[in-house]
Structure 1
Amino acid sequence: MKLDAQKFHVKVLSTPEAHIVFMTGELDLGTAELFQSAVETIAAQKDVPLKLNMRELTYIDSTGIGIIVTLLKQRQDSNGLITAQEVPPKIRRLFDMTGLSQFLTVEGGGG
C-alpha cells in the first residue's frame, strides 16, 4: 500500500513579520509527518508570529489537531502567536467542538 502524499501539500512563506504556512488537501495520519517537518523549524522561532492558512485545507483528523496543539504548547511559554487564517466552516466547527478555537487566533473565514 502506498500512502498518497499528493493529497496534502504544505508551503511556507517566511517574512520578517510572520511565517505563513499554506496547507492544501487532507491533513491526517498519513500526511502529518510532512506537515510537522515543514513547521518544526519555524515554530521554534517564537519571536516571529506563525500563521496557518487553511483556505485550501479540506480535512483534518485528530493527528493534525494534535500537531497544532503541540505547536501551541511549544510557543505558549514565550507568548509566541499562532493564528489560523481562512479556516473553512467544517474545520472551524471541529476546532470549536474540540475546544481548539479558544487557543487559536482565527482571522477570516473560509469559503
Structure 2
Amino acid sequence: MDLTIEVAHDEHEQVRKVVLIGEIDAYTAPKLKETIVPLTEENGVEVVIDMHAISYMDSTGLGVFISALKSTKEHGSSLTFMNPQERVYRLFKITGLTEIMNIQTDYTVRGGM
C-alpha cells in the first residue's frame, strides 16, 4: 500500500493544494498527518485536498482529517476536500463527517448518497 502526496503552494492567494494518490490506511496515515496538519497551522491559509485518486481509506485516514480539522479551528485556517471517490465519500457520510467537513463532490450536487 502506498500514498503519494503532492503539495502546491500559491503564496498570493494563501492556498495550499494537496493532491493525494493511492491508499490511506494505518501504514500511510502518519505520512499524511505529517504533511497536512502543519499546513493547517498557517493562519488564514486555505488547504484544499484533492482526493480523486484515493482508491481506499480506513478509519485511520478519518482520524488524520479530524486532527487537521481541529487544527484549522485553532489556527484560523480552512480545509476543503475535493472529488473523493464514491466509496471514500460514503465513509465520510456514514461517520457523519459530511456534516462538519467541507466536502465538494458531484454526489452532493446530485442530492447525496
**Quick check: 33-42 or 49-58, which moved more?**
33-42
Structure 2 distance, partners of 1:45, 1:78, is: 7
Q: Pairwise mapping of residues 16-55 of structure 1 onto structure 2 (< 5 A)? A: 16=11, 17=13, 18-55=15-52
Deviations 1:11-49 (A, max 9, x none): 111113211111111010001111111223212113110
**Structure 2 residue ranges without an equivalent (≥5):** 108-113
Structure 2 distance, partners of 1:100, 1:34, is: 22
Task: Give the TM-score normalised by structure 2.
Answer: 0.84
Structure 2 distance, partners of 1:103, 1:22, is: 21
The residue matched to 2:68 in structure 1 has which SS? helix
Residues 1:12 and 2:1 are matched in the alignment: no
Q: In angstroms, what is the RMSD of aligned CA positions?
A: 1.6
Structure 1 distance, partners of 2:75, 2:31, is: 25
Structure 2 distance, partners of 1:47, 1:86, is: 23
Deviations 1:72-91 (A, max 9, x none): 11112454211000111111
Task: Give the TM-score normalised by structure 1.
Answer: 0.85
Match in the other structure for 2:106:
109
Match in the other structure for 2:111:
none
State, as a whole percentage, how many aligned pairs show the same letter.
24
The residue matched to 1:87 in structure 2 has which SS? coil
Runs of 4+ in 1 over 3 A off after TM superposition: none
- Offset at residue 93 of structure 1 (A): 0.9
